[in-house]
C-alpha cells in the first residue's frame, strides 16, 4: 500500500465514520433512491446538514446524484463500495500471510 492509498482510505473512512452519514447510507440501501428532503425527514436531520453530508458522500464516490426537476436524487454505489472494502480486506490478509 502506497502513501497515496493511505490518504485515499483515510478520506473514505473519514466519510464513513459519521453516524448520520451511515444512517443515510442505510436509508439509501432500503430504497432505490431518495432526494434530500426525504432523507432529511426520514433521518430527522436538518436539511442543510443532510445536503452537505450527501455532497461529501458523493465526492468520495459512495453515492451518485441526478436532478429531476427541482429535486436532487441520490443513490448508493453499492457495488463500488463493496468492491473497495473487499480489496482492502484482501490486501490486509495478503500482507498478513507474508509474516
Binding site for its own copies (CB under 8 A): 1, 6-7, 9-10, 13-14, 16-19, 22-23, 26, 29-32, 76, 78-79, 81-83, 85-86, 88-90, 92-93, 95-96, 98-99
| Among its own copies, DNA, none, partner that 24 touches (CB below 5 to 8 angstroms by kind) | none
Per DSSP, which regions of 1-99 are E strands?
34-35, 63-68, 71-76
Residue 18, C-alpha cell as written in the block: 459519521
Nearest to 17 by CA among 62, 71, 68: 62
Site string for DNA, 5-24 (x = CB under 7 A): ---------x---x-xx---
The owner of cell 442505510 is 26
Question: Taking the complex as a whole, how short is the minimal distance between the CB of residue 90 and DNA, in angstroms?
Answer: 25
| Among its own copies, DNA, none, partner that 32 touches (CB below 5 to 8 angstroms by kind) | its own copies
Cβ atoms of 20 and 43 within 8 Å: the answer is: yes
Amino acid at each position: 500500500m502506497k502513501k497515496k492509498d493511505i490518504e485515499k482510505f483515510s478520506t473514505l473512512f473519514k466519510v464513513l465514520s459519521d453516524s448520520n452519514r451511515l444512517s443515510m447510507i442505510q436509508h439509501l440501501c432500503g430504497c432505490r433512491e431518495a432526494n434530500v428532503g426525504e432523507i432529511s425527514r426520514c433521518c430527522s436531520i436538518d436539511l442543510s446538514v443532510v445536503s452537505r453530508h450527501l455532497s461529501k458522500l458523493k465526492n468520495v464516490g459512495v453515492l451518485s446524484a441526478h436532478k429531476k426537476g427541482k429535486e436532487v436524487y441520490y443513490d448508493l454505489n453499492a457495488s463500488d463500495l463493496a468492491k473497495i472494502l473487499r480489496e482492502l480486506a484482501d490486501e490486509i490478509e495478503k500482507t498478513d500471510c507474508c509474516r
